[in-house]
Structure 1
Amino acid sequence: MRTSKRERILDAVFDIIQRDGVTAVTFDAVAAETRLTRGGLLYHFPSREELILATHKHLAERWEKEMANVAGKDAESATPDERLAAYVQTCAKAANRAELLLMLESAGEPGFGSIWQEVIDRWAPPVPEPDDAAALSRFIARIAADGLWIHEALSARPLPEKLKERICRRIVATTDHDHPSIEKDRPT
């Protein structure tokens, strides 16, 4: 299947951010990366802001497609435990500097942040009620998966695949509410 020019541009923006950071994204840098003219870029993205916004959407959609692929279904069809397992596994294998930088940038920009938050809301366990032990276990697993994702995005020494697989299994296993190592919260 042939990649569209728009997709080629967005992939080039990803490469630039991965290599040089978000501030390095200019029309000249993207033109050089794609071998397209500046005018060709402006046809698809009339401003840098629209280019960055489209990049957020492109990467968030790619991230969500990966979770759906791992789960074998979309978020609406998956159970909370299936969504969590897909989230954990995707965090372990899809971590990259570009997404981390874009997510950090989106923290101060509601328009960008909402793109990522919508995907997170569909797949990641929400903040639990204090007395819901099962939801608390899933949320703790989510935090562990987020930590794994950040480690992999920042580390100069990514973890070996077999170790990541074991870590993912352990994270997901923390949600086994009958597991003897998980202390159930009880009011005192």
Structure 2
Amino acid sequence: MAKDVKTRILQAAKALAESHDSVQGVTISLESVAQEAGLTKPGLMYHFPSKEALMVGLVEHAAEHWALMLCEHTGRPAEELSSFDRHRAYVAVATTAEVSRADYWIFSDALYHPKLAQAWSDHLNSWFDVDGLEPRNAALLTAARFCADGAWMSEATGVFPAADLALVREHALALIDAAEGKGAA
């Protein structure tokens, strides 16, 4: 039951972020989230005693969601996949997942708050690991990931979205194939 309430709170916080026209217009307060979730402020504070705790919870929830989407896409955890297959999964998910400005805000806010960045690292570092690869191959995988990052951020914000996202995905996947020796970069 407590997990359901926590999830409801986190969904309410994300809904508030999505309801704004710009990322800069996003203001999340304990009061506004409590109201959106149908709780009292003390009821919300039982689960998230401070705004920082709420924001850490929101980022943790988002990072877990991305890791879950990647696992669902592959059917296996990152540790059971090659670097190439992990990066293919990320490119596929990042260029097909439904994303919103709230997703972008949740991700980008971590840039300014190191405590928020930790959840992203905890859940996604294993998906982006390139240890042990030749530098050229690691660079090609990183370039493919950067393509996917840019694609989802562009789609989430609506700023310069791709005219043909499938073609962007195809080119990013070709970089991974080249890193693995299956094609030319």
Q: Which has the larger radius of gyration?
A: 1
- Tell me by how many angstroms 1:175 deviates: 2.1
Question: SS state of the match for residue 112, structure 2?
Answer: coil
1:128 and 1:168, CA in 2 relative to 1: closer, same or farther beyond 3 A?
Answer: farther
Could you give the per-residue CA deviations for residues 118-148 of structure 1, whole angstroms, max 9, x where no partner exists?
A: 333111255998x622222111111111111
Aligned to 1:98: 102
C-alpha distance in 1 between matches for 2:41 and 2:112: 29
C-alpha distance in 2 between matches for 1:55 and 1:49: 10
Q: Does 2:76 correspond to 1:73?
A: yes
Contact 1:127–1:139 (Cα < 8 Å) also in 2: no
- Tell me by how many angstroms 1:159 deviates: 5.5
C-alpha distance in 2 between matches for 1:125 and 1:133: 14
Contact 2:88–2:176 (Cα < 8 Å) also in 1: no
Contact 1:95–1:149 (Cα < 8 Å) also in 2: yes
Larger fraction in helix: 2
C-alpha distance in 2 between matches for 1:44 and 1:138: 39
Structure 2 residue runs without a partner (length 5+): none
C-alpha distance in 2 between matches for 1:66 and 1:49: 26
- Tell me by how many angstroms 1:34 deviates: 1.5
TM-score (norm 1): 0.82
Aligned to 1:26: 29
Structure 1 residue runs without a partner (length 5+): 183-188
- Tell me by how many angstroms 1:169 deviates: 2.7
1:147 and 1:156, CA in 2 relative to 1: closer, same or farther beyond 3 A?
Answer: closer
Q: Does 2:178 correspond to 1:174?
A: no
Contact 1:9–1:30 (Cα < 8 Å) also in 2: yes
Q: Does 2:173 correspond to 1:151?
A: no
Two-structure CA RMSD over aligned residues (Å): 2.4
Question: SS state of the match for residue 55, structure 2?
Answer: helix
C-alpha distance in 2 between matches for 1:127 and 1:99: 28
Aligned to 2:87: 84
Q: Which one of the candidate residues 125, 128, 146 is aligned to 1:124? A: 128
Aligned to 1:185: none
C-alpha distance in 1 between matches for 2:56 and 2:138: 33
Aligned residues: 176
Q: Does 2:17 correspond to 1:13?
A: no
Moved more, 33-42 or 139-148: 33-42
